[in-house]
Amino acid sequence: MTTFSIEGKVALVTGASYGIGFAIASAFAKGGAIITFNDLSQALVDKGIAAYKAIGITAYGYVCDVTDEPSVVAMIEQIRADVGSIDILVNNAGIIKRTPMHEMEAADFRKVIDIDLTAPFIMAKAVLPDMMAKRSGKIINICSMMSELGRETVSAYAAAKGGLKMLTRNIASEYGAYNIQCNGIGPGYIATPQTAPLRTEGHPFNSFIIAKTPAARWGKPEDLAGPALFLASPASDFVNGHVLYVDGGILAYIGKQPQ
Ligand code: NAP
Ligand code: GCO
Q: Helix, strand or coil for residue 188? A: coil
Residues 168-180 pLDDT 10s: 999 999 999 999 9
In a domain, 254, yes or no: no
Beta bridge partners of 107: none
**144 touches ligand 2 (CB under 6 Å):** yes
- Domain assignment present for 205: yes
pLDDT band at residue 201 under the 50/70/90 scheme: confident
The share of the chain scoring above pLDDT 90, in percent, equals 95
Asked if 128 and 219 count as a contact pair (C-beta separation under 8 A), the reply is no
- What's the whole-number mean pLDDT along residues 113-130? 98
> pTM of the prediction?
0.98
Instruction: Check if the beta carbon of residue 126 is closer than 8 Å to that of residue 139.
Output: no
Could you read off the pLDDT of 204-250 as tens digits, one per residue? Answer: 999 999 999 999 999 999 999 999 999 999 999 999 999 999 999 99
Nearest-CA residue for ligand 2 atom 3 is 189
d(CA 164, CA 85): 24
pLDDT reported for residue 259: 82
**pLDDT grade, residue 23 (50/70/90)?**
very high
Q: Is the pLDDT of residue 71 over 80?
A: yes
**Is 255 domain-assigned?**
no
Q: Measured in angstroms, how far is the CA atom of residue 257 from the centroid of ligand 1?
A: 32
Q: How many domains does the chain have?
A: 1
Residue 187 lies in a domain: yes
**What's the chain's average pLDDT?**
96
Distance between CA atoms of residues 38 and 40, nearest Å? 7
Q: State in Å: Cα 80 to ligand 1 middle.
A: 24
Residue 257 lies in a domain: no
Does the residue 131 lie in any domain? yes
The whole-number pLDDT of residue 202 equals 86
Asked whether residue 180 is assigned to any structural domain, the reply reads: yes
Active site residues: 157
**Domain range holding 41?**
2-249
Q: What is the mean pLDDT of residues 66-95?
A: 98
pLDDT at residue number 1? 55
The model's pLDDT over 84-106, given as tens digits with 9 standing for 90+, comes to 999 999 999 999 999 999 999 99
Task: Say which CATH number the domain at 190 has.
Answer: 3.40.50.720
Residues 6+ apart with CB under 8 A from 188: 145, 213, 219, 245, 246, 247, 248, 250
Q: Would residue 10 count as lying in a domain?
A: yes
